[in-house]
Structure 1
Amino acid sequence: MNVGPEPRLILLCGLPGSGKTTLAKRLARDIPAARLCPDEWLSDLGIDPFDERTRDRLERRFWTHAQDLLRLGQTVVLEFGFWERSSRDEKRLAARALGIPVELRYLAVSIDELCRRLEVRGRDGEPGTVPVNRELLEEYVQLFQAPDDDELGLFDEPPPRPSE
Structure 2
Amino acid sequence: MGPRLILLCGLPCSGKTTEARRLERELPAVRLCPDEWLTGLGLDPFDGPARDRVEAVLWRHAQALLAAGTAVVLEYGFWDRGERDEKRLRARELGVPVELRYLTAPLPELQRRAELRNREPGAIALTAAQMAEYAAMIEEPTPEELALYD
State the TM-score, normalizing by the size of structure 1: 0.89
Equivalent runs, 1:22-37 vs 2, <5 Å = 22-37=18-33
Q: Secondary structure at the match of 2:119?
A: helix
C-alpha separation between the residues in 2 aligned to 1:50 and 1:108?
Answer: 21
Gaps of 5+ in 2: none
- The CA distance in 2 between the partners of 1:33 and 1:46, in whole Å, is 25
1:142 to partner: Cα distance: 1.3
Tell me which amino acid in the other structure corresponds to 1:137: M
Three-state SS of the structure 1 residue aligned to 2:8 is strand
Other-structure match for 1:138: 132
- Work out which of the residue numbers 138, 153, 156 in structure 1 matches 2:147: 153
Identity of aligned residues (%): 57
Distance 2:124 2:55 in 1: 16
**SS of aligned partner of 1:124:** coil
2:8 matched to 1:12? yes
> In terms of Rg, which structure is larger?
1
User: Aligned partners of 1:89 and 1:29: how far apart in 2?
Assistant: 26
SS in 2 for 1:59: helix
Q: Over aligned residues, Cα RMSD in angstroms? A: 0.8
Provide, for residues 119-159 of structure 1, a one-character-per-residue CA deviation record: whole Å limited to 9, x for no partner: 1111123x4x4211110111111110000100000001xxx
Question: What code does the residue aligned with 2:59 have?
Answer: W
Q: How many residues align?
A: 150
Q: How far apart are residue 79 of structure 1 and its match?
A: 0.3
Q: Which runs of 4+ in 1 moved over 4 A?
A: none
Tell me how far apart the structure 2 counterparts of residues 6 and 43 of structure 1 sit (CA, whole Å): 30
TM-score if structure 2 supplies the norm length?
0.98
Any gaps of 5 or more consecutive residues in structure 1?
157-164
2:105 to 102, 109, 116: 109
